[in-house]
Amino acid sequence: MTQEYITRTEAKKILRGITDQELLAMPGAMHYKGLWGDVVKVPRSEVEKLAATWKPPESYIREQQRLKNERQMFERARREASFLCELCGEKVKPQSDSTAVLSFLQGRLSLEECRRLVKGAHMRHKHTDYDMLIGAAAEKRYNEIQKERREGMYYDGSDVKYEIQQVRKKILRGLKL
């Protein structure tokens, strides 16, 4: 009978908190270099045998709890920093990876400052042609670069950022936040 193998990711879902070393120590474990890095595979039967009595280590449980608390704090802060937009009548919540919210949680911004940034981002993206202008500026510059390249000129990429900064400044000035 051929042995059925499962991947490291699958094994870690079943044996929560198991380390790579522990997986590799399993009878029949395979370890080789794949196209995208190290590949670890283990026999399903070994994983199931171990799963019958497996208890996640304390450190793993604590880390999971810490991550859960962190996510909850972030969610709470997102709710706190949300606001009702007078222009579209929408209740606007910061993005799930909002830097402003993270800065607020780290104590580098007050709630008011955080909300102002969230508001600014919403106004910019939803109520101005910011995205379109940024896109147009980048495209214009991109075409110029292609032309310069064809003409054999050296280009380091910095002007696109400059162009975008200019558009951003112009819009922020217009918004007077």
Nearer to Zn ion, 138 or 172 (CB): 172
Burial of 23 (0-12, 13-18, 19+ CB in 10 A): buried
Considering the complex, what minimum distance in angstroms separates the CB of residue 94 from Zn ion? 13
Contact assessment for residue 177 and residue 120, using Cβ atoms and an 8 Å cutoff: yes
- Nearest residue to Zn ion on Cβ basis: 85
Residues 6+ apart with CB under 8 A from 58: none
Considering the complex, what minimum distance in angstroms separates the CB of residue 115 from Zn ion? 14
Nearer to Zn ion, 63 or 90 (CB): 90
Q: What single DSSP character describes residue 33?
A: E
Considering the complex, what minimum distance in angstroms separates the CB of residue 84 from Zn ion? 9
Nearer to Zn ion, 52 or 84 (CB): 84
Stretch 83-112: interaction string toward Zn ion, x if CB under 5 A = --x-xx------------------------
Considering the complex, what minimum distance in angstroms separates the CB of residue 131 from Zn ion? 14
* Number of residues located near Zn ion, criterion CB under 5 A: 4
Closest CA to 161 of 143, 177, 137, 128: 137
Q: Residue 42: how many CB atoms within 10 A of its CB?
A: 27
- Between CA 12 and CA 23 the distance in angstroms is 9
Nearer to Zn ion, 88 or 132 (CB): 88
Reduced to 3 states (helix: H, G, I; strand: E, B; else coil), residue 1 is: coil
- Between CA 117 and CA 166 the distance in angstroms is 19
Nearer to Zn ion, 77 or 121 (CB): 121
Stretch 110-149: interaction string toward Zn ion, x if CB under 5 A = ----------------x-----------------------
Residues within the interface to Zn ion (CB under 5 A): 85, 87-88, 126
